[in-house]
Amino acid sequence: MGSNKRAPLPYRTDRTKNFEKAWKRYNKSGRYDMQAAAEAMNLVTNRNPVPAEYRDHELTGEWAGFRELHIGGDFLLVYRVDEKNEMIYFTDLGTHAELFE
């Protein structure tokens, strides 16, 4: 049986200044697994199914239109998918307390 060799193009990506600052801060501190963060980003960028352990879900309220996934414990990746323009906007990284309070 032949394998399917077709695949959609990965999304194009963009990062906010908040995201880039958070990445640098966490990468420098060694507090969280940034390799795991990069792997989570690759999953969504490459249109792969996000495993259940990431608890990927839509946000509501002032964050409506954004999604959040758990990289590990309370370490979160916030992003937005723009299907029309085939873009992923990586918006922020942090804990619930840092991002939403």
Q: Is 96 designated active site?
A: yes
Of 96, 91, 98, 93, residue with least CA distance to 23: 93
Contacts of 28 (CB under 8 A, 6+ apart): none
Q: Per the residue annotation, which of 42, 96, 97, 101 is the catalytic one?
A: 96
Counting beta carbons within 10 angstroms of the beta carbon of residue 47, is it exposed (0 to 12), middle (13 to 18) or buried (19 or more)? middle
Active site residues: 96
